[in-house]
Amino acid sequence: MTKADDRRVRKALQGADFPASKEELVEYARERGTGARTLLALRGIPEGTYEDSDEVERAVPQNPEAGSAD
């Protein structure tokens, strides 16, 4: 994940209520009109509950596109 990706994830989750599950975070970002690349990164985080956006950023795969077969 690049610094630009970090900023996009942080922006996508701005205003989100924490703690939040992966599903809640992806849905929140989707409802805000977050771009496909950022949604892909968020979908790549492990299932679980996240305490804040910093924790989410640390969980985002370094190369979320690599695992995509789409």
Give residue-wise pLDDT tens across range 4-28: 777 889 999 999 999 999 999 999 9
Q: 47 is written with which tokens?
A: 């299932």
Q: Where are the domains of the chain?
A: 3-62
- The answer on pLDDT for 36 being more than 80 is yes
Cα distance between residue 61 and residue 16, in whole Å? 20
**Average pLDDT value over all residues in the chain:** 87
Is-contact 45 12, C-beta < 8 A? no
Whether residue 48 is predicted with pLDDT greater than 90 in this model: the reply is yes
Q: What pLDDT is stored for residue 3 in this prediction?
A: 75
Does the pLDDT of residue 39 top 60, yes or no?
A: yes
**Is the pLDDT reported for residue 69 higher than 90?**
no
Dist. CA 14–CA 31, nearest whole Å: 12
